[in-house]
Structure 1
Amino acid sequence: MADKGVDKGAGKGFWGFVWNSESKAFMGRTGSSWLKILVFYTILYVFLAMFFFATIRMLMFSLSDTKPTYQDRVERPGLSHTPRSEKEEISFNMNKRDTYEKYTNAIKDLLASYEDGHQTEELKYMNCGEAGEPGPSIDRANEDGEEKKACRFYKSWLEDCSGLKDDNTFGFRDGKPCLIVKFNRVVRYTPTAPKNASLPEALQANFDPNRIPIHCTSKIGKDKGKIVEIKYFGFGGFPLQYYPYYGKKLHPQYLQPLVGIKFDIAMNELVHMECKVFGEDIDYSDKDRYQGRFNVKLRVSNE
């Protein structure tokens, strides 16, 4: 008795599709048809591969390996400080080393490349001025393709914020903490010094056309009386002779100029600070809290 539900032609129909002995067709195509389609797709994919390779080569030829072709979306300059703070607050007890050790370790790591012994090679480093003596920008664009010497910057120039005077505690042990401030690197960017009249009154007496000054004040009015003294070390700002920066390939030893800022504030009080740099091409943005400025809350405890 024949099995019900079995299509006897199903298997024959499938195998007949795979190989048709009458037309000599494999899966519906004859040998010549398969050859034509194989040749067509081979030519197509070879063309697409060559087109892709050619476009990539054209793109690579249009790019420079020493400077970015487009950097108009880079916010400049960004201002950052070390140690970085969690939720913009640096809080510690001056009598308990473990409460501020993470901050001092961060500063030590930053200043490691500013040790005198790391800047001895005359082929890689050069003197661009002594501490406190800002100079004009050094334009070396005509040396394209040549590795640039880096301007020396010794951590000893940071004086009270160098760690050399207080066993690398950078003022934290004495309740007068230091922040080390720097510009973020932007390739071939040279900041423009401000005009004297545009500066806060506290900076006008020390105006220098070859320096981008920095100034810190209380963020909110009620904290003004909590500030005893703020001192600035290094060049008192960012000297122009350290700019521009030419990128990692041409300027591998580049050292950013640093400013050490030492805060003497009321004990056991939270003090809101704002530090800003001033220059003709420096703007401030509410969307980026580190564009040309930064805010930090400081609390020094002795209890």
Structure 2
Amino acid sequence: MAEKDIEYLKSPDEKTKWESTKEFIWNPRTGQFCGRTGASWAKITIFYIVYYACLVAFWTVMLMVFYVTVDYHQPKWKLDSSRIGNSPGVGFRPSPPEENVDSTLIWFRHGSSKQWEYWVDSLNEFLEPYQGGQQHGEHLTTCSFEETRKPEEVCHFNLDLINNNCSSSRKFGYDVGRPCVLIKINRIYGWKPEPYDNNSLPDNMPEDVKKKYDPRNVYISCEGENPADRENIGPINYYPSQSIPNYYFPFNNQPGYLSPFVFVHFQDPTSGVLMNIECKAWAANIKHDRKERLGSVHFELLVD
């Protein structure tokens, strides 16, 4: 065996960690820096520059195509052609605290303890845009059934028409255990309510709505889900009325648009009893599906 081969097979001298580290950073025998020669570093650097340049170029082109096809004022898919569909949901305020975001329970203790303050603050926060700001400007108009508003205009929602029992000055009734709950129809771009034929109103429509039904309005009704709930919620009033005029629709992303709503005033709910309540909106093109929560909203009310 040649002497050169014998030298090759000899065990390398043991090196300290510092010596191994220095040799990894710069190996004078092989001319390697951090395990690669200068030519190897140049090749891999050029590869990654080209690779990331191609990625940036690809996603830039995709983003440009996306922005070209996006309309900033209206969705591409609307009503039946969209995932949202053409039957709106219904929402309620005040919303439960963020830590109970999945809850639908309105629970408070009325009286001097002021454990009702959160619910009052939540309603005041929601109503703040209605009290100023968006309720002023050239886009705002006073709507009526006799006049047709322009597409870019929005209808003024007059809080002064709401009964004082559901006002901020009266704490929306929470301090005396007679709460007001705000019910609104969720926005769907381009959706307009369609009237029922007066001769073919739904069988499950509440009798009080049937008696006052006007095809120019969308109606709101609330009742207990079970016989015990209906017995315990007591009498109900609606402010400013039980209906929302059709001229507030459609929502077409107009600047300053504010959703119309109805306040439901529970005048004498039974204390200490959990009540399941369902509120529905009534129009010919509003479907009611409890499972999907179409056309209705569920919440629980507990007054201590």
TM (normalized to structure 2)?
0.72
Show the counterpart of 1:126.
141
Number of paired residues?
268
Taking the aligned partners of 1:220 and 1:162, their CA distance within structure 2 comes to 26
CA RMSD of aligned residues (A): 3.7
Q: For 1:99, what is the secondary structure of its paired residue?
A: coil
For 1:148-187, list aligned pairs within 5 A.
148-163=152-167, 167-187=169-189
Q: Which one is further off, 187-196 or 202-211?
A: 187-196
For 1:86-101, list aligned pairs within 5 A.
87-101=103-117
Equivalent residue in structure 1 for 2:91, among 74, 80, 90:
80
CA shift for structure 1 position 104? 0.9
Task: Check if 1:110 corresponds to 2:117.
Answer: no
When residues 40 and 117 of structure 1 are mapped into structure 2, their CA distance, relative to the original with a 3 A threshold, is closer
Taking the aligned partners of 1:117 and 1:38, their CA distance within structure 2 comes to 56
Amino acid paired to 1:187: Y
Show the counterpart of 2:231.
225
Deviations 1:130-157 (A, max 9, x none): xxxx6798572xxxxxxx2321112122
Taking the aligned partners of 1:168 and 1:113, their CA distance within structure 2 comes to 19
Taking the aligned partners of 1:233 and 1:256, their CA distance within structure 2 comes to 15
Show the counterpart of 2:287.
283
Q: For 1:67, what is the secondary structure of its paired residue?
A: coil
Deviations 1:150-203 (A, max 9, x none): 211121222135416xx2411223322100111222222223233441233221
Taking the aligned partners of 2:146 and 2:116, their CA distance within structure 1 comes to 36
Amino acid paired to 2:187: R
When residues 254 and 48 of structure 1 are mapped into structure 2, their CA distance, relative to the original with a 3 A threshold, is same
When residues 96 and 194 of structure 1 are mapped into structure 2, their CA distance, relative to the original with a 3 A threshold, is farther
Show the counterpart of 2:261.
258
Q: For 2:64, what is the secondary structure of its paired residue?
A: helix
Show the counterpart of 2:296.
293
Show the counterpart of 1:22.
none
Amino acid paired to 1:297: E
When residues 48 and 90 of structure 1 are mapped into structure 2, their CA distance, relative to the original with a 3 A threshold, is closer
Taking the aligned partners of 1:286 and 1:100, their CA distance within structure 2 comes to 29
Ranges in structure 1 where 5+ consecutive residues have no aligned partner: 20-25, 141-147
Taking the aligned partners of 1:175 and 1:98, their CA distance within structure 2 comes to 11
Alignment identity in percent?
A: 23
Q: For 1:156, what is the secondary structure of its paired residue?
A: helix
CA shift for structure 1 position 64? 0.6
Ranges in structure 2 where 5+ consecutive residues have no aligned partner: 1-5, 14-22
Task: Check if 1:68 corresponds to 2:75.
Answer: yes
CA shift for structure 1 position 224? 2.5
Show the counterpart of 1:239.
245
Show the counterpart of 1:23.
none
Taking the aligned partners of 1:183 and 1:161, their CA distance within structure 2 comes to 22
For 1:183-194, list aligned pairs within 5 A.
183-194=185-196
Q: For 2:175, what is the secondary structure of its paired residue?
A: coil
Q: Does the aligned pair in 1 maintain the 2:290–2:296 contact within 8 Å?
A: no
Amino acid paired to 2:297: F
Q: Does the aligned pair in 1 maintain the 2:276–2:299 contact within 8 Å?
A: yes
Amino acid paired to 1:78: G
When residues 237 and 28 of structure 1 are mapped into structure 2, their CA distance, relative to the original with a 3 A threshold, is same
Q: Does the aligned pair in 2 maintain the 1:230–1:262 contact within 8 Å?
A: yes
Amino acid paired to 2:230: K
Amino acid paired to 1:255: L
Q: Does the aligned pair in 2 maintain the 1:77–1:186 contact within 8 Å?
A: yes
When residues 246 and 27 of structure 1 are mapped into structure 2, their CA distance, relative to the original with a 3 A threshold, is same
Q: Does the aligned pair in 2 maintain the 1:136–1:241 contact within 8 Å?
A: no
When residues 92 and 42 of structure 1 are mapped into structure 2, their CA distance, relative to the original with a 3 A threshold, is closer
TM (normalized to structure 1)?
0.73
Q: For 1:172, what is the secondary structure of its paired residue?
A: helix
CA shift for structure 1 position 280? 1.9
